[in-house]
Amino acid sequence: MKAFRSDKQQNALPSLSSIGDGGFTLFEIVLALGIFLSSMAALSQLTSNGMRAAVLAQRQTEAMVRCESKLSEVMAGVEAQRVTTNVAFPDDPKWVWRMNVRESQFPGVLLLEVRVSHWEQRSVAATTAMLQCFARDRSAHDEVRR
């Protein structure tokens, strides 16, 4: 014989279709959290690389400007046309410059090479810029005038 249940008893039992509709499982939450944390780690690494590249580009630009400035001073006669090694800039001692002077294949013309470098202990590598130009040998020119 079959037992009949009342409507209240039938509604009290959960149906198979409603099981699991209450929320996320622990596995789904852990998986979502893992995906979120790994994407945040990747984004922070990208940000760090971008900031490092921006600082390097800024230093490269400053190195080239300092190099052009020092070469202009030599061409204008403010600095002597002689070999100079690791002279600090007065405004920032982390920046140093050196100049190499060589005879060129043309008589009375020198090849000037100015190199500017920035050294910092935190940096792995130094920032360096170098420019070369031909210039009239001022010492030879002065001897001819006398």
Query: Which one, of 132, 125, 134, 86, lies nearest residue 106 by Cα?
Result: 134
Which of the four pLDDT bands, split at 50, 70 and 90, describes residue 135?
A: very high
Residue 126 has pLDDT above 90, yes or no: no
User: pTM (2 decimals)?
Assistant: 0.67
How far apart CA 62 and CA 55 sit, in angstroms, is 11
Selected residue with higher pLDDT from 138 and 85: 85
How far apart CA 45 and CA 51 sit, in angstroms, is 10
Which of the four pLDDT bands, split at 50, 70 and 90, describes residue 2?
A: low
* Domain range list for the chain: 24-145
| pLDDT value for 22 | 75
DSSP result, 52-69: HHHHHHHHHHHHHHHHHH
